[in-house]
Structure formats: C-alpha cells, structure tokens
C-alpha cells in the first residue's frame, strides 16, 4: 500500500517547480525583450494620432527614417533620455523623431511640456492604442523604422541617443535609399 502522506511533499515540490517553469516560459514568451526581438525586419504598424495640439501620421513619414519613442511623464528613465533625444533631433535633422506620450492625464502632460520646454516633437496617446500596436507596455521603448517602414532596431530602456554607435547606425540608415517596399 502506498503511503499517501509521504508522497504529498514530493508532489507539492514537483507541482511548484512545474508552475514556476511554466511561469518563466510564459513570461519570456510574452515579452519581446530579448537580444533579437521578433519585430525586427517586419513592417512597422502604421497609425495616426491627434491629441488636439499635435498630430502625426506614420504613413506620411514614408521615405524618412523614424525614431518612434514611447514614453510617459511619470517615467524617470523616459525623462532621463529626453535631452539626448532632443540633441539627436538637432544633430540629425534627416531622422524624424516621434515621441508618443502614453499619459492618460492630458493636463499633467501639458504641464510637463510647459515646465520642461521640450523642443522634441511629441504627441499624446492617452488611450495607448499606438504602443499597444507595437506590443509596448513598459517605457521607454523605442523603434527605429527605416525609409520603407520596416523596423530595424528596438531599444528598451533609456538610451544615450548621441552615442557613436547609435548615431553612426542612424546616419547609415538615413543615407540608404528606400527600397520601395511600401506603395
């Protein structure tokens, strides 16, 4: 006869280990934060936004390299990288930076913009539809979209946008002719 009392601790341990392994698998599969995100080399989701003050339509930026940055005013790493994004915008005018704020509070967003006098092009998507299209829910996350509308790089977390590696990559991408993949 099997002693059920002595096998329960082992069963609990196995169940706990299986649950932990399953959680790790799903957590890893659910986020695109690896060294080579699935989105690289795919067509960037296109969207148009109008927050009442500013508007952007990614389709109209076809033929330009776009840095699409998702950020929020209550995100310290987002705020940390804003000065280098502004500097990059000044230094590389051939690259269009589009900073999409995911703030749901329009008044807080407006106060932040006035207080910090951002020269960066930014538009608010309080309903967070655009970042959802990209599978981005933790900020900042930034996508580099080439002239043909293809995602070429994904940056996770705050970056130093004026670093030689990033600037050289963007200069090369901006100098490449479009391949005409979008019609």
How many residues are given for the chain? 183
Q: What is the pTM of this model?
A: 0.79
Q: What is the pLDDT of residues 106-160, one digit of tens each?
A: 999 999 999 999 999 999 999 999 999 999 999 999 999 999 999 999 999 999 9
Which pLDDT belongs to residue 178? 86
In this predicted structure, the answer to whether residue 9 has a pLDDT above a threshold of 90 is no
- Closest C-alpha to 131, from 71, 53, 60: 71
Domain boundaries, the chain: 48-175
Distance (Å, whole) CA 63 – CA 177: 9
CATH 3.30.9.10 describes domain 48-175: no
152-178 mean pLDDT: 96
In this predicted structure, the answer to whether residue 15 has a pLDDT above a threshold of 80 is no
Q: What is the pLDDT of residues 42-90, one digit of tens each?
A: 999 999 999 999 999 999 999 999 999 999 999 999 999 999 999 999 9
């Amino acid at each position: 006869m099997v002693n059920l009392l002595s096998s329960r601790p082992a069963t609990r341990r196995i169940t706990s280990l299986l649950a932990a392994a399953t959680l790790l698998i799903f957590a890893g599969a659910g986020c695109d934060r690896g060294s080579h995100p699935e989105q690289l080399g795919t067509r960037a989701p296109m969207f148009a936004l109008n927050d009442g003050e500013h508007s952007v339509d990614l389709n109209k930026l076809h033929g330009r390299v776009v840095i699409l940055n998702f950020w929020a005013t209550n995100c310290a790493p987002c705020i940390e990288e804003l000065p280098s994004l502004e500097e990059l915008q000044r230094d590389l005018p051939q690259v269009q930076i589009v900073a999409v704020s995911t703030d749901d509070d329009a008044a807080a967003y407006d106060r932040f913009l006035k207080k910090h006098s951002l020269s960066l092009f930014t538009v608010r998507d309080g309903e967070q539809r655009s970042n959802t299209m990209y599978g981005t829910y933790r900020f900042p996350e930034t996508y580099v979209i080439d002239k043909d509308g293809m995602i070429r790089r994904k940056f996770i977390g705050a970056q130093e946008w004026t670093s030689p590696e990033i600037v050289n990559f963007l200069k090369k991408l901006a100098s490449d002719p479009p391949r005409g993949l979008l019609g």
